[in-house]
Amino acid sequence: MTGHGHVHGHHHHHAHDRLDAALEGSSEGLRTLWFSFGVLAATTVVQAVVAGASGSVALLGDTVHNATDALTALPLALAFLLGRRAATRRYTYGFGRAEDLAGIFVVLVIAASAVFAGYEAVRRLFGPQEVSHLGAVAVAALVGFAGNEWVARVRIRTGRRIGSAALVADGLHARSDGFTSLAVLLGAGGAALGWGWADPVIGLVITGAIVLVLRGAAREIWHRLMDAVDPSLVDQAEHALSHVEGVRAVGDVRMRWLGHGLRVETSIVVDPALTVIEAHRVALAAEHALLHGVRRLTAATVQFHP
């Protein structure tokens, strides 16, 4: 005999709270995206003004780079909004995965950044460029670095809190952009000292740094697309279940992320002498324990076996 306990029918307020938590997560994600879009737009404007006044080619490249970067917030925001749509008969789990697809796009953009930075560095290695207006370039590059790093930290922190791999990847993307601004800054410093070789060498080092960032972002998205979860979450779930009265043993615990919420499926062993009603009560208690014991859990399915 296999029973299925479901919280939803019995405790509507819980279902609503959990839905609110997922929506709250998506609102927080959208707020972070708009905030970061504002910061990056402002840094881009500052850089554009300085680039225009100084006529620096290096700076112009960095400004264009930052402008395109600010724009990756848009597909991500679109995915967040799409993820809020209710499930349909075709998309029975809802649209939470849209975000992970946007994450793939972000990873591709970081890869493009790495290729671009590497290409520029190699080009300058063979044909060194004179960097003019060093002071202005240094100031604008510093602004670019600071703006991007600030955005990176906010995005990564929010992404981790709301369980959004795509937002974490976009944070890493901002960090990789900060690195390109840093390259411009260090290049200007090298030029000021009269080290012509410094610029391309720094460019190559920064390309390496971007490749490392790319690895981190790709790992985040890969884990999400492959339904990987932090093993400590599985421990939390098992711990919560093992303390429920009437649960004799805990079977496999399976978890996956969908949008900003975790779903868990598990089976428990109960005393064969229990009536179906009593067994069902144990399964409900088990679901309660899961929903209270595991952060960001939005749905739990518990099967019981005698």
Q: Under CATH, which architecture does the 231-305 domain have?
A: 2-Layer Sandwich (3.30)
Residue 38, helix vs strand vs coil: helix
Please tell me the predicted confidence (pLDDT) of residue 88: 96
Residue 203's pLDDT band (cuts 50, 70, 90): confident
**pLDDT score of 6 more than 60:** no
CATH 3.30.70.1350 maps onto the chain at: 231-305
Nearest-angstrom CA–CA distance, 121 and 203: 5
Mean local confidence (pLDDT), 19-42: 89
Q: Name the DSSP class of 211.
A: H
Span 125-140, mean pLDDT? 80
The pLDDT of residue 16 is: 67
Is pTM, for the whole model, over 0.85?
yes
Between 121 and 32, name the one with better pLDDT.
32
What's the pLDDT at 151?
A: 96
Rounded to the nearest 5°, which phi and psi values hold at 72? -70, -15
Confidence check: pLDDT of 13 > 60: no
> First-to-last CA distance in the chain?
7
- Which part of the chain has CATH 1.20.1510.10? 11-225
**What is the per-residue pLDDT across 223-273, written as a single tens digit (0 to 9) for each?**
999 999 999 999 999 999 999 999 999 999 999 998 888 999 999 999 999
Q: What is the pLDDT of residue 10?
A: 40
Q: Which fold has domain 11-225?
A: Alpha-lytic protease prodomain-like (1.20.1510)
Kindly report the number of other CB atoms within 10 A of residue 232's CB atom. 8
Gap between the Cα atoms of 305 and 195, Å rounded: 74
